[in-house]
Amino acid sequence: MMILEARDLASGYGELQILWDVSLNLQQGRLTTVVGSNGAGKTTLLRTLMGLLKPWKGTISFDGRDVTRLSPHEKAELGMILIPEGRQLFTDMTVLENLEMGATPKRARPKMEENLEKVFELFPRLKERMHQKAGTLSGGEQQMLAIGRGIMGDPLLLMLDEPSLGLAPLLVIELFDIIRKLKEAGLTMLLVEQNVHLALAVSDYAYVLSQGRIEIEGEAAVVRQMDEVREAYLGL
């Protein structure tokens, strides 16, 4: 079953068009990745899907309903959760308070305790630091908290924008291990990531975005072996 379908999306900023007729399908229970170089339009795509940018044209359907014109708040209530680039935590609030803020959608509130247990099971360090201010955490711990806050929203679809950005190599490996565990637990995810090698290794399906257009799509294992992908993004 397709949880999200986008058709012929165009969007941008002011008069600057960034996306050109982008279409993608996200299958329930699978991890889909969008890879591409800096400036390819990856973050713009996520912002458009989430409603932070209004599409100039095209349609977005989620869980069987048209959500093209819905606000980010309305989409979050339906189960679309975006973990933005740069984490955007409440740095003066504690870890626990940040996690509780993630459970603001009405659909998430009844499951707050259950989802909090899930987060602490995935990220034991967050449990150890639950009363610590988010701004005092390391970069890796802050990224864990951002993902944990997303899980607190009880997502049907979790979208992650460049989660490995700025992390040390060992933390990147740890992060992708967490993403793999979430996938194995059946969570549907859309991952935007510059670390093409790891993104393709952990994903089920992949789209390659170039200059605002989908250039390649297919099963991630197949895309990973394509000569043009290996040369352009994997340095092989």
Number of Cβ atoms within 10 Å of the Cβ of 73 = 10
What is the 3-state secondary structure of the chain? CEEEEEEEEEEEECCEEEEEEEEEEEECCCEEEEECCCCCCHHHHHHHHHCCCCCCEEEEEECCEECCCCCHHHHHHHCEEEECCCCCCCCCCEHHHHHHHHCCCCCCHHHHHHHHHHHHHHCHHHHHCCCCEHHHCCHHHHHHHHHHHHHHCCCCEEEEECCCCCCCHHHHHHHHHHHHHHHHCCCEEEEECCCHHHHHHHCCEEEEEECCEEEEEEEHHHHHHCHHHHHHHCCC
pLDDT of 235: 61
pLDDT of 229: 87
pLDDT of 96: 96
pLDDT of 123: 93
pLDDT of 233: 77
Query: Which pLDDT tens digits describe the chain residue by residue (236 residues)?
Result: 899 999 999 999 999 999 999 999 999 999 999 998 888 899 999 999 999 999 999 999 999 999 999 999 999 999 999 998 876 899 999 999 999 999 999 999 999 999 999 999 999 999 999 999 999 998 889 999 999 999 999 999 999 999 998 888 988 998 999 999 999 999 999 999 888 889 999 999 999 999 999 999 999 999 999 988 888 776 64
1-70+206-236 and 86-187 in the same fold: yes
For the chain, give every domain's residue range.
Answer: 1-70+206-236, 86-187
**What DSSP assignment string belongs to 138-152?**
-HHHHHHHHHHHHHH
pLDDT of 111: 94
pLDDT digits (tens, 9 = 90+) for 179-236: 999 999 999 999 998 888 899 999 999 999 999 999 999 999 999 999 888 887 766 4
CATH class held by domain 1-70+206-236:
alpha beta
Return the CATH fold of 86-187.
Answer: Rossmann fold (3.40.50)
pLDDT of 139: 87
